[in-house]
Amino acid sequence: MPILNVEPRTRAQESTNAIERMYITMRHLFNRGFYKPMGVSGESLRESLLTLRPEIYGSIAEEKIELSGLLYVMDRLPEGIEECSYINLTSDEGYQGSHFKAIIPKKRRRNCYRIDKHQMNIEVTRGRSEIYDILTHLTFLMIESHKIMKQVLVGDNGSTTRDWKCLEAVIGKTKLTQQEKEVAVTHVATILGRTFEEVMSVYNDFATAKNPHQFLSTIYHLGNLAKKEI
């Protein structure tokens, strides 16, 4: 009986297969009309993204939180999306004449609208390529949010770590003393598996005109979203 030697897949082959699976999954999601990134419908997309490990998403496959990738994604998605459980991708719905104010991401010219505290609508004007872009960014966010959640939950009763409680205590404050900021960063660094210096190096890059401490808010709300799913 002949002996068959099965060569292990190369990194290039794994990446090619992952890309093919991603496009097949996304076409399926187009037909379905919705998906939950951390649910069954998003499982294939998550696995493909973790296999592909795009450079822009940095250490997505590691336990520590990817800071540069998070900044890249947040710059291309609307402010406040980390607070929303429902994301709708729509065509131009004619919100220009309504009370809804357009939210335009820092580095993407697309109109987005915060419908209520749970829902964000994102207008898609450039077809499927733009949808692919948004879906992969959202999947990355959900992967990172669950990393945060796993670091802060203790036991099976929903209890959280002291670091999370300390972060929670400063959320909503737009003014922090330097001491308060550095204490908060110390707790967040523990949650993220990063050093104090690494967190401080990106802290101001997340700042917005409304909230100079947006980084803390982003981490908190991402973790909170994941907590609500369990």
Residue 193 contacts residue 150 (beta carbons within 8 Å): no
Predicted local confidence at residue 184, as pLDDT: 98
Place of tokens 């009763």: 157
Residue 44 has pLDDT above 90, yes or no: no
* pLDDT (average), residues 12-36: 67
Residue 19 contacts residue 132 (beta carbons within 8 Å): no
Least confident of 6-15, 130-139, 178-187: 6-15
What is the per-residue pLDDT across 127-154, written as a single tens digit (0 to 9) for each? 878 888 888 899 899 899 999 999 999 9
Residue 6 binned pLDDT confidence (cut-offs 50, 70, 90): very low
Residue 38 binned pLDDT confidence (cut-offs 50, 70, 90): low
pLDDT > 90: percent of the chain: 52
pLDDT > 70: percent of the chain: 83
* pLDDT (average), residues 37-56: 75
Predicted local confidence at residue 70, as pLDDT: 96
What is the per-residue pLDDT across 75-119, written as a single tens digit (0 to 9) for each? 999 999 999 988 888 888 899 889 999 999 999 989 999 999 999
Write down the pTM of the prediction.
0.85
* pLDDT (average), residues 44-66: 83
Higher pLDDT, 162 or 3: 162
**Average pLDDT along the chain:** 86
Residue 196 has pLDDT above 70, yes or no: yes
Contacts of 219 (CB under 8 A, 6+ apart): 65, 148, 167, 188, 191, 192
Tell me how far apart the alpha carbons of residues 208 and 74 are, in angstroms, rounded to a whole number.
11
* pLDDT (average), residues 179-200: 97
Concatenating the DSSP letter of every residue in 140-183 gives HHHHHHHHHHHHHEETTTTEE-HHHHHHHHHTT-S---HHHHHH
Q: How many helices (H) and strands (E) does the chain have?
A: 8, 5
Predicted local confidence at residue 67, as pLDDT: 96
Give the CA dihedral 177, 183, 185, 187, nearest 10 degrees: -150
Residue 159 has pLDDT above 50, yes or no: yes
